Amino acid sequence: MRSSDYVAGADAGPQATVTSTVFGGYTPGGSSRSTGFPAAGCSHLHWPWHKQPPPAPQPVHYLEVSGSGASAVLAQYWKRNTLVLDMSGASGSGSLTLRPPADGWPVRLAVRVMPGSLGELDVRGAQRVVLPIVPAGGKPVDLELPPAVYPPKTMEVTVTWGPAPAPAT
């Protein structure tokens, strides 16, 4: 006798074996029926397209932002342990200075830019890094800064942006 079989009553006379028709098997009459899934109770299933989208990140104020281009930083967001500076509205050229709070720099730092609106980012802290930005694209991209640019003893980081330099011929 299988685990899905059961005996209908101890004093029911001749023993009748019944198998669940939900996952296949047979009925007392001997016919074989299979539905593949339960006929009732489907309302408890959670379909993947019914999930709610994740909530929008909440803006924070972690770094002190100053300089002529400070208005280019639309907001600061946490994306896991990365602080993202949203500069997707920046265009043309400008610069800004970032200063950490008393407890230091975040573990990771990234800058969100819109491809095509800027040519390159020049980031100067303990080291200098130049980040070229592709001229075409539809969505903002996050450019993560190397941690060597902002080690714990770095007092400030300067971010300058402008058009891409002309290629040397």
Tell me which range, 21-25, 68-72, 124-128, is most confidently predicted by mean pLDDT: 124-128
Beta strand ranges found along the chain (DSSP E): 6-7, 17-18, 59-60, 64-66, 75-79, 82-86, 94-99, 108-113, 120-124, 128-132, 141-145, 157-162
* Model confidence, pTM: 0.66
Q: Does residue 94 have a pLDDT over 60?
A: yes
Q: Where are the domains of the chain?
A: 3-7+14-38, 59-162
